[in-house]
């Protein structure tokens, strides 16, 4: 008798749970809720397919951010590793690069300045 009541209770609870799941609003389904961001623009892309998952003002022009700086560092480190450049090589900053703004103008560099070794690492973020 006791076993019969237990089985009946479990079946009843399972049926009620399935019924309640059917009433769940679609907004709670995976991927249907729009993320909130305070950023003026954003883009989220699935890496393997290239499918855009989320976008907010995707064509709005923005100044390069930290990702660009890291990418520049990776290219520079690769060039160092392959012997294309050396730490003590001199780099002349172009007027066009300076006019783009960003952290270069805050660091006191101007078009035509010559940077060498530790200067480059400092301005790119490695020396901090």
Place of tokens 């809720």: 33
Q: Tokens in use for 98? A: 């300076």
Residue with tokens 């590793």: 81
Kindly report the three-state secondary structure assignment for every residue of the chain. CHHHHHHHHHHHHHHHHHHHHHCCCHHHCCCCCCCCCCCCCEEEECCCCCCEEEEECCCCCCCCCHHHHHHHHHHHHHHHHCCCCCCCCEEECCHHHHHCCCHHHHCCCCCCCEEECHHHHHHHCCCC
What pLDDT does residue 106 have? 41
Domain of residue 92 covers 66-124
What local confidence, expressed as pLDDT, does residue 50 receive? 87
Does pTM top 0.85 for this prediction? no
Q: What is the CA radius of gyration of the chain?
A: 28
**Alpha-carbon gap, residue 21 to 112, rounded angstroms:** 67
Q: Is there a domain that residue 82 lies in?
A: yes
Give a yes or no: residue 7 inside a domain. no
Residue 14 placed within a domain: no
Please indicate, yes or no, if residue 77 is contained in any of the structural domains.
Answer: yes
What is the count of structural domains for the chain? 1
The predicted pLDDT at position 16 comes to 80
pLDDT the model gives residue 108? 56
Taking the chain (128 residues) in runs of 10, the rounded mean pLDDT of each run is 75 78 58 74 85 88 74 82 84 72 53 65 52
Q: What is the pLDDT of residue 96?
A: 76
Phi-psi region of 37 (alpha: psi -120 to 50; beta: other; left: phi over 0): beta
Residue 105: how many CB atoms within 10 A of its CB? 13
Query: What is the model's pLDDT at position 29?
Result: 54
């Amino acid at each position: 008798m006791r076993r019969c009541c237990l089985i009946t209770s479990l079946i009843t609870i399972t049926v009620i749970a399935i019924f309640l799941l059917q009433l769940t609003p679609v907004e709670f389904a995976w991927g249907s809720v729009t993320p909130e961001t305070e950023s003026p623009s954003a883009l989220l892309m699935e890496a393997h397919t290239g499918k855009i998952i989320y976008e907010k003002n995707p064509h709005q022009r923005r100044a390069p951010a930290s990702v660009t700086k890291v990418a520049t560092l990776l290219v520079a480190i690769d060039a160092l590793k392959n012997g294309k450049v050396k730490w003590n090589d001199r780099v002349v900053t172009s007027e066009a690069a300076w006019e783009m703004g960003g952290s270069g103008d805050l660091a006191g560099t101007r078009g035509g300045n010559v940077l060498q070794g530790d200067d480059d690492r400092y301005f790119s973020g490695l020396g901090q």
